[in-house]
């Protein structure tokens, strides 16, 4: 699940900044490798300021889905 907060959420982050993009990743307990790969993929993309900006500017669920699909497809090309 992806949630975008337009106003930001106080998450008591280390840098003191509000959080605008939230991910919920759920996986079966017997598949920890899949969970870790998902976390790695998400964290790699979130290091890109452009990716984060595009996510935050997404107006619809379809926009978010397209962005995530494009990012995932780009991973497969590398």
Dist. CA 77–CA 3, nearest whole Å: 27
Average confidence (pLDDT) over 4-28: 93
Q: Which pLDDT value is given to residue 73?
A: 79
pTM of the model: 0.78
Going by C-alpha positions, the residue among 47, 74, 68, 77 that lies closest to residue 4 is: 68
Residues 46 and 71: beta-carbon distance below 8 Å: no
Q: Assign 26 to helix, strand or coil.
A: coil
Domains of the chain listed by start with CATH number: 2-77 (3.40.930.10)
75: confidence class by pLDDT, cuts 50, 70, 90: low
Mean pLDDT of the chain: 90
Please give the Cα distance from 46 to 13 (Å, whole number): 15
């Amino acid at each position: 699940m992806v949630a975008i907060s337009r106003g930001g959420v106080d998450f008591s982050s280390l840098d003191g900044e509000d959080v605008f993009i939230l991910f919920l990743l759920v996986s079966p307990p017997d598949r920890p490798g899949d969970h870790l790969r998902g976390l790695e993929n998400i964290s790699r993309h979130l290091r890109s300021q452009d990716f984060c900006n595009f996510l935050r500017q997404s107006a619809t669920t379809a926009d978010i889905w397209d962005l995530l699909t494009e990012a995932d497809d780009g991973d497969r090309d590398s």
